[in-house]
A and B are shown apart, each in its own frame.
Chain A
Amino acid sequence: MANPATVEQTVRYRSANAVLVGNALTKVYRMGEVNVHALRGIDIALYEGELMVLLGASGSGKSTLLNILGGLDVPTEGRVVYRDQDLTSADNDQLTAFRRDHVGFVFQFYNLIPSLTARENVALVTEIAPNPITPEAALDLVDLGERLDHFPAQLSGGEQQRVAIARAVAKQPDMLMCDEPTGALDAATGRIVLEVLERVNRELGTTTAIITHNAPIAAMADRVVTLADGLIKQEGYNSQKKPVREIVW
């Protein structure tokens, strides 16, 4: 799948603007009596318009990395720079503003607010984002234009995840960070969700990072980064991205 020999593509991405760059990122958690090294020194960048898949087993540090890149967490050491803005020294409010203005999140368990309808869950974000599309348009984008006024409990898992994607893209973010978006879904439903992400990346050009432990999914990416034990084990480019509908897992 990954083919480091595709020089043409390498040049294309390297020369494109790096939206977000992380240097020498380490993260140490304290769990009770022991220190857990989740990241052990990672250099990584996200490029304008690309779809990157972060592959790795459970505990490899991929969620930690995504959280740090998305401004949800801060590294123990290392630097994170978004365009010209150094996030390493950003305080809580600056990080919040960064997330509010530039990042869309999609989580494994959707994390919708159960007391709000689909439309209201999206509105939660459009009301505070600087340049949003309407909640209705965002839900149309994920083919949920018909289920605007349903509460999460009235939606299937796949539908809930699509609402979550609508919520993430409605603000027209610069980056979409997806943490195991299909982790809680069966394959067929998962495919529908990935198709939505694929379409968003293609049609809106939103830089997208997807975490998965599911290797076949990497076929949909422009670039694949594999993490193991807090380090980047492998990085490569797909010469030929596979449409999601052709991926089987």
Chain B
Amino acid sequence: MVAAIDRKLLRDLFNLRGQVITIALVCACGIASYASVLGTYESLLYARDAYYERQRFADVFAYLKRAPDALLARIQDIPGVSLAYGRILQPVKVPIEGLTEPAQGQAISLPATGEPPLNGVHLVEGRLPETGREDEALLLEAFAKAHKLRPGDHIPVVLNGVLRSFRITGIAMSPEYVFSVPPGEMLADPLRFAVLWLNQEVLAAAYQMEGAFNDVLVKLQPGASESAVIVELNALLDPHGCMGAYGRDKQLSHNVVKSELGSLKAMAKVLPVIFLAVAAFLVNVVLSRLVQLQRQQIAVLKAVGYRDRDIGLHYLKLVSVILLIGALLGLAFGVWIGRYFTDLYIKFFAFPDLRYISDPGVLGTALLVSVVTAVIGALASARTVMRLPPAEAMRPEAPAIYRRALSEVLKLQALFGDSARMVLRELERRPLRTLLSALGIAFSVALLVSGRFMFDSIDLLMNVVFEGAQREDVIVVFSEAVPERAMREIGHLPGVLRVEGLRVVPVRVRFGHRTRDVQLMGYGDRAQLRRVMDDRGRVYLPPREGVMLSSELAKVLNVGLGQRVRVELLEGERQKSELAVTGIVDDLIAMFGHMRLDNLNRLMREQSRVSMAALSVDPRRYGELRDALTDRPAVLGISRREHLIEQFKRQTADQMHVFTFIVTAFASIIAIGVVYNNARVSLSMRSRDLASLRVLGFRRGEISAVLLGELALEVLLGLPPGMLIGKLLAIGMMSGIDTEQYRFPVVISAQTYAYAAVVTLGAALVSALLVRRKLDKLDLIAVLKTRE
């Protein structure tokens, strides 16, 4: 049987249903964001760690020209190394049917023993190539899916200039290619990037690598220092044309996964806190009003013998029920969104068993957190309840004390009518609630801003990168640097309107004890297609002398203008020299050193050579040009800007639209929750005043103006700080991203601010209309009769 006092609780809940629903929804958003984002985060983390563990994903990586197998034993002896594995890794072309340009590929050797000891493959289908077979290959699942290839099909591969056909024996995933980005690019492109695993002898024979390797994977001993091993490894490998060993964090696929996890974690921390803070505030507003209204009921309960703690608990239970309803709704919704998010990630990340895990810990924490929120929100009121002396509570509360509003003291009253004066006095009478309400609105605005700013940032990124910095139609990558005069030849190919050679050289830059392995870009004299551009779209010419560093690189090295950095080339003769830092630029992608092509070539002690060609092309003749380029063995890859832009948009669109939609819905719920609850509480506190005004002859519209004017003012007060908090949130959300890979500029357009303001105002308007209906139905006689 339900105790009488609990019946009161249930009926109070029913009477407060409008407020119960709105507060529960705010809480639900908090719990949903917590369960979905944290759940997605943990699911990804779990899938990743389990996968890395199972496939023995390496800790340190190094790519080099060629080293004899004997060197592996010495690597193995480096303190801290648990296992070193050498393999052959070669960039290849895959001229597969259905693509206008051949796909880029990487061919990786499989040891004679079959399964590689590090970076193992996860077989999705089929089997490994049989030992000794020279025509069998294992294919990366992403590419196989994109081209609908199955075991038994054949795939053409150009190995060292020779076109060969391999029979696919199996389809595989690899921890190295969870996010399969072609080397040197930023975007996953499953259609145009293939990874093939071939038997060791096949690659060794094709590239004259018998008894040698050109790629090292190292597993560290537990607790070993990665940086110490990298230093030793570089020392061993440098004579063999190593481009610099690097840890997992710089491994392309891992880096992307890690960045994504970082953003998720940041969001999982911030979002729920906002919602739950707002929920606690609303609980506080509504409960303190309820306690005020039920003052005499509380007194009676005390008079008939209920203990202070029984009554305090009664109200605590009331709000706990509200928030538990919210939590349960939030959990159901959160698990649903979490599944959806996780499924979205399956499109981007190739994990063999990525699925949403509803961790009971997360769920339990969510419930606990909502109860704690209820308690925090209810604390002040519960204390009032418990301290209320029963004899005093029996008497009606003293009338509220009003003062002349500050604006009146400042003699501004002439500017306002009576209604405005009442609004201002009311707001100034309870500054804390006004402030917190405005803050609640600000959070709504902030969420909307943070949910949409990525569109702006991506717009900017696209603008700077594709309209300003990389204006070529086609970029041609050579397998080895070619003499610059080859550009003249390319310039005569069909459809080429303009050609510019570019040199890209991997280097190790050192300043003091800090070093980074980056790329030096060399630009021709009159470069127009590839340019250096900062995040505001300003174009920089490469300095006449010395090197211009990406600001992020300058920061990492802690080097300033005019200082000199040591540069060690990681290819060719590996010359070491010094370069003056003559410029620093806030560019957006990765970390580069920008130089003039002639200076770079001088540094290389080479005649003028280029490693890439940027082309401006007549689109009608692109087909001819492609055919002419595809046949050249020196050409490793061709990529079209148009295609990159499309790829970029596709990759970001899906996820962002969903995210923006969810955040917009959540933020609207906050705005409605804040405005509606404040309005209801104001209405209940002031219905007597308002009814009196009606009796005195005020019209409905005029008394609405008094009440809704307050709300409007609170909403307007919330807009500017909301925009500011939105920007901070955006910065916080981006903090998980590795700025050494690319800087994601946090820019927020006027449209985004306007969008946030309009949605919030719209939500506020909806709540105001709901309350307006109550106001119009105000029963004058009944209100005036009630004591109070």
Contacts and interface: CB of A to CB of B under 8 A. Distances in A.
A107 B301 CA distance: 13
A195 B147 CA distance: 96
Max chain A CB contacts within 10 Å: which of B4, B15, B394?
A: B4
Nearest to A100: B305
A97 B302 CA distance: 10
Max chain A CB contacts within 10 Å: which of B303, B307, B391?
A: B303
A95 to B, nearest CB: 9
A97 B297 contact: no
B501 interface: no
A121 B4 contact: yes
B383 interface: no
Contact of B307 (A96, A101, A114): A96
Contacts of B394: 72, 107, 111
Interface in B1-21: 3-5, 7-8, 11-12, 15
A114 B14 CA distance: 13
Interface in B269-314: 296-297, 299-308
A92 B388 CA distance: 11
Contacts of B524: none
A115 interface: yes
A116 B7 contact: yes
Interface stretch (A10-18, A122-130, A210-218, A234-242): A122-130
Contacts of B301: 113, 124
B390 A124 contact: no
A136 interface: no
B300 A116 contact: no
B389 interface: yes
Given A72-B390, A72-B391, A105 B307 contact: no
A43 interface: no
Contacts of B12: 115
B4 A73 contact: no
Given A111-B296, A113-B300, A93 B391 contact: no
A217 B8 CA distance: 35
Interface string B374-407: 0000000000000001110010000000000000
A123 B3 CA distance: 8
B148 interface: no
Contact of A128 (B8, B305, B390): B305
A191 interface: no
Given A72-B391, A111-B300, A101 B4 contact: no
Interface string B760-788: 00000000000000000000000000010
B304 A109 contact: no
A123 B4 contact: yes
Given A72-B391, A116-B7, A127-B3, A111 B297 contact: yes
Contacts of A64: 391
A92 B297 contact: no
B308 A92 contact: yes
Contact of A125 (B15, B304, B391): B304
What is the interface of chain B mostly: helix, strand, loop, or mixed?
A: helix
B524 to A, nearest CB: 83
Contacts of A114: 297
Contacts of B307: 93, 96
Interface in B470-487: none
Nearest to B10: A115
A21 to B, nearest CB: 20
Interface residues of A, number: 34
B11 A116 contact: yes
B4 A109 contact: no
Contacts, number: 84
B11 A128 contact: no
A109 B302 contact: no
A162 interface: no
A23 B300 CA distance: 27
A87 B50 CA distance: 68
A105 B389 CA distance: 16
B297 A124 contact: no
Contacts of A128: 304-306
Contact of B7 (A92, A104, A120): A120
B782 to A, nearest CB: 11
Contacts of A67: 391
Contacts of B390: 72-73
Contacts of B15: 115
A167 interface: yes
Contacts of A167: 304
B388 to A, nearest CB: 11
Contacts of A125: 304-305
A129 B305 CA distance: 8
Contacts of A79: none
B787 A109 contact: yes
Interface in A119-152: 120-121, 123-125, 127-129
A199 interface: no
Nearest to B2: A120
A107 B391 CA distance: 11
Contacts of B4: 116, 120-121, 123-124, 127
Contacts of A37: none
Contacts of B787: 109
A96 B297 contact: no
Contacts of A120: 4, 7-8
Given A67-B391, A105-B304, A125-B305, A111 B299 contact: yes
A100 B391 CA distance: 15
A40 interface: no
A146 B296 CA distance: 27
B321 to A, nearest CB: 15
Nearest to B3: A127
B787 to A, nearest CB: 7
A178 to B, nearest CB: 12
B8 A96 contact: no
Contacts of A107: 300, 303, 394
Nearest to B304: A125
Nearest to A107: B394
A127 B305 CA distance: 11
B391 A124 contact: no
Nearest to A126: B4
Nearest to B393: A72
A72 B297 CA distance: 14
Nearest to B15: A115
A83 B301 CA distance: 24
A167 B4 CA distance: 12
A120 B6 CA distance: 10
B7 to A, nearest CB: 6
A123 B296 CA distance: 18
Max chain B CB contacts within 10 Å: which of A67, A70, A171?
A: A67
Given A96-B305, A116-B8, A73 B299 contact: no
Contacts of A123: 3-4
Interface string A62-84: 00100100101100000000000
Nearest to B11: A115
B7 A105 contact: no
13 contacts: A64-B391, A72-B303, A72-B394, A73-B391, A101-B305, A111-B297, A113-B8, A120-B7, A121-B4, A123-B4, A124-B304, A127-B4, A129-B305
Given A72-B391, A127-B5, 19 more contacts: A72-B389, A72-B390, A73-B391, A92-B308, A99-B303, A111-B303, A112-B300, A113-B8, A113-B301, A114-B297, A115-B11, A115-B12, A120-B8, A124-B8, A124-B301, A124-B304, A125-B304, A128-B304, A129-B305
Interface of A: 64, 67, 70, 72-73, 92-93, 96-97, 99-101, 103-105, 107, 109, 111-116, 120-121, 123-125, 127-129, 167-168, 171
Interface of B: 3-5, 7-8, 11-12, 15, 296-297, 299-308, 389-391, 394, 787
